[in-house]
Amino acid sequence: MSGYQDKIKEAASRLLKEGSVDMVIGFRKGTLPMMNEPCFIRRSEDVHQLVWDSNCGINLANYLTDRKEKIAIVAKGCDSRNIVTHIIENKIKREKLHIIGVPCQGMVDKRKIISLFGEEILDVTENGDDLKIKFRGSEKSLKKNDVLQENCATCIHRNPVLFDELVGELVTEQTGVDRYADVNRVEALSPQEKWQYFEDLLSPCVRCYACRNACPLCYCPTCFVDESRPQWVGKSQDPVDIRTFHFLRAYHCAGRCTDCGACERACPVGIKVRQFTSKLNKDSFEMFGWEAGMTLDQRPPLDTYKPNDPNDFIK
Amino acid sequence: MNLMEHMGIEPGRLQFSWISSAESTKFVDVVKTVTASVKALGPNTNYKKQAVKVA
């Protein structure tokens, strides 16, 4: 992983020096442990800030929307799929981008780590699959694979799908993972139980819209929840309004979501926001054989018509 | 529709139909079956908002 970091710095410095890009989008250390933040490097003197470790879960494609300058962007598998989606949706031009591809080995879920220990974590360092957690006066170690983000644990597209250069060897993709275990579990419930499941799931929601802001798909200049003329959805804390926001936002991501987990990562109260989008991802895959952002050459199923599109729901 | 039923809307409450303006008999049939199936399910109290509590 640290090898990645040096390669990223080297690439960023080279691209900025030769002037082929105006800006590099990557990660730098945050002010809290396990909280790397996106950064925008415009001068080659600043590339030392760039880092890469298992806390780079934020989806950087989110920062490309409608950018006009030449940009180099650090992209893991899911980021690259969102970049493809951005290009397909005319939110950025391919020529404006230099993609520094990072074969990803999964990102850790800081909530899982924090919940394992009662004391304040001061620092987390990693060496391959081993994480060292530092507390005041003591130290513990963990295996990274035990604390991966849920979407990373079941990810089958860790390698970038679109890149101009790579910072390391492509990694072996996982096989035999059940990506839709959660969806299948909910599908087996009765309608009342399903309703209750999502009622409980959403009960802590404060409607801060962090999930929407972290999502690279949510780039509308005015989101439907912010619109007041007409007002599409109630703005209150009523469970019905909260639910309406979540399932409508999910619908807007249908056939576009790459399951990057940015929404879940951003949620301040730890709601499993992916429970909505996973169902749509499963449907897209089962009905159209579609996984978002895998290729520039194919239009998404929801903006094309095929005579054999499934339409059993129309009576 | 799949997501709606996935999060707990009963099957049969939400229905889609394609009816041409010339298909009056189909329209009548569809309205009859939809109303019958929704009546059988009863009122959808899940989607009823609670009255605002004022202290």
Per-residue pLDDT, averaged over A56-62, amounts to: 94
Cis geometry, peptide bond prior to residue A230 (ω within 30 degrees of 0) = yes
Give the residue-averaged pLDDT of A135-148: 92
In a domain, A58, yes or no: no
pLDDT at A126 over 70: yes
How many angstroms separate the CA atoms of A219 and B49, rounded?
Answer: 30
Q: Model confidence over A175-225: pLDDT tens digits? A: 989 999 999 999 999 999 999 999 999 999 999 999 999 999 999 999 999
**Where do the domains of chain B lie?**
2-42
| Contact flag A250-B3 (C-beta cutoff 8 Å) | yes
Q: pTM for the whole thing?
A: 0.91
CA B16 to chain centre: 9
**A148: in domain:** no
Which of B2, B5, B6 would best serve as a mutation to test chain A binding (most A beta carbons within 10 A)? Answer: B6
Residue numbers in A near B50 (CB within 8 A): 238-239
Q: What share of chain A has pLDDT > 70, as a percent?
A: 99
Count of residues making up chain B: 55
CA distances from A147 to A161, A196, A254, B50 (A): 25, 28, 28, 39
Whether A222 has its CB under 8 Å from any CB of chain B: the answer is no
The confidence score (pLDDT) of residue B47 equals 84
In the structure, what pLDDT confidence band is assigned to residue A94 with cuts at 50, 70 and 90? Answer: very high
Position A315 scores a pLDDT of 83
* Span A218-229, pLDDT tens digits: 999 999 999 999
Which pLDDT score is estimated for A1? 55
Task: Give yes or no for A257 touching B (CB within 8 A).
Answer: no
Beta carbons of A183 and B6 less than 8 Å apart: yes
| Count of domains for chain A | 1
- Give the structural domain span for A250: 178-303
CA separation, residue A204 to residues A185, A230, A243, A269, A275 (Å) = 22, 27, 12, 7, 15
* ipTM of this predicted structure: 0.84
CA A84 from centroid of its chain's CA atoms: 14
Would the CB atoms of B6 and A241 count as touching at under 8 Å? no
Reported confidence tier of residue A311, pLDDT bands at 50, 70, 90: confident
Digits of tens for pLDDT over chain B (55 positions)?
689 899 899 988 999 999 999 999 999 999 999 999 999 999 988 888 877 766 6
Instruction: Average the pLDDT over A78-95 and give the result.
Output: 95
Min Cα–Cα distance to chain B from A236, Å: 10
